[in-house]
Amino acid sequence: RFMAAAVSTFFDFPAYLAAAKASVEEALDDSLGPERPEQLREAMRYSLLAGGKRLRPILCLAACELAGGEPAEALPTAVALEMIHTMSLIHDDLPAMDNDDLRRGRPTNHKVYGDAVAILAGDALLTRSFEMVALRSPGVPPERLLKVVGELSLVAGAPGLVGGQVVDLECEGKEVDLETLEFIHLHKTGALLSACVICGALIGGAEDDLIDALRIYARGIGLAFQIIDDILDVTASSDVLGKTAGKDLLADKTTYPKLLGLDESRRRAELLVSEAKAALEPWQASAAPLLALADYITSRDR
């Protein structure tokens, strides 16, 4: 009996992750039609299919399943969320913003297609994200889709990514306090991670108690993700292919380790992850994928 219990509660996370990623990659590939002109199509595909970790769509699918829905129903929304993430990276890399030459180990979109096409490819991905939800989500009740459209409009706009980016740009080269640093991270990173689980749960038909728990979960993993990113910037500075390549970003950037020290930053990240996981405790075994994803997101070493 003991063995049976052990087997039935065993959760094969690597297999789960591989299967979810494969279905996301296939849906991403299918999401771009024969756009005209060809240069626009190529620029959109270049960044959307550049092989990121796909954390956001996977979080969306996992939350849909936790809410009792069929993950396939959330797939177009999962794609939409990755499109918003991708377009934000394209725009973030532009000379007028972070001015990066490399992203995911490849030349950035504007380095290949020029600034104008990169801006427009980003715009086309953002608008396609709404199309995915409104026009390409068969079988999902329209009132759920309407809520998802609402979430996406908030997260992409001034209350979310755009607002976070503007504050970040304003603070460039300045020392900022912890409150401002947290505002930037909650808006630039946390908001989209949160929208992923909320949208997935809405499609799955979640009750309010699950939505509330997922907001706590997402806030915790979003901030922890960012703290760990800052820690890695300090501890993995020999990474020549990473996003800091060729630039001295650390010199003018406020980070958690700078404000709190490395040990306190690590403690804070661990606390946030355990709070995130505790919020899902009432859902027990059904929350296994999201619990494992919390560890995965925050245990990376690069």
How far, in Å, CA of 163 to CA of 167, rounded? 6
91 binds ligand GRG (CB under 6 A): yes
* Closer Cβ to ligand GRG, 108 or 210, answer by number: 108
Residues 6+ apart with CB under 8 A from 78: 24, 27, 56, 57, 58, 60, 61, 196, 200
Beta strands in the chain (DSSP E): 102-103, 106-107
* Interface characters, 98-137, with ligand GRG (x: CB under 6 A): ------x---------------------x-----------
233 to 163, 188, 230: CA distances (angstroms): 24, 17, 5
Are the beta carbons of 100 and 47 closer than 8 angstroms? no
Using the contact rule CB under 6 A, the part of the chain among 66-74, 87-95, 128-136, 264-272 near ligand GRG is 87-95
Using the contact rule CB under 6 A, the part of the chain among 52-60, 175-183, 207-215, 278-286 near ligand GRG is 52-60
84 binds ligand GRG (CB under 6 A): yes
Using CB positions, name the residue nearest to ligand GRG. 52
The amino acid that residue 86 corresponds to is T
* Closer Cβ to ligand GRG, 206 or 265, answer by number: 265
267 binds ligand GRG (CB under 6 A): no
Cis peptide before 37 (omega within 30 of 0): yes
Residues 6+ apart with CB under 8 A from 239: 245, 302
Rg (CA), the chain: 19
Q: Which of 27, 55, 213, 218 binds ligand GRG (CB under 6 A)?
A: 55
Using the contact rule CB under 6 A, the part of the chain among 21-29, 81-89, 213-221, 282-290 near ligand GRG is 81-89
How many Cα atoms within 13 Å fall on the side-chain side of residue 16?
19
Using the contact rule CB under 6 A, the part of the chain among 155-163, 205-213, 231-239, 260-268 near ligand GRG is 155-163
Helix or strand or coil: residue 102?
strand
Shortest Cβ 141–ligand GRG spacing (Å)? 26
Interacting positions 212-251 with ligand GRG (CB under 6 A): none
How far, in Å, CA of 110 to CA of 101, rounded? 8
Q: Which of 27, 52, 144, 219 binds ligand GRG (CB under 6 A)?
A: 52
How far, in Å, CA of 156 to CA of 133, rounded? 14
How far, in Å, CA of 47 to CA of 90, rounded? 8
Using the contact rule CB under 6 A, the part of the chain among 41-49, 59-67, 90-98, 271-279 near ligand GRG is 90-98
Using the contact rule CB under 6 A, the part of the chain among 2-10, 86-94, 207-215, 266-274 near ligand GRG is 86-94
Q: Which of 88, 129, 137, 244 binds ligand GRG (CB under 6 A)?
A: 88
Q: Which of 27, 63, 66, 161 binds ligand GRG (CB under 6 A)?
A: 161
Cis peptide before 257 (omega within 30 of 0): no
Give the binding site for ligand GRG (CB under 6 A): 52-53, 55, 84, 88-89, 91-92, 97, 104, 126, 156, 161-162, 165, 188-189
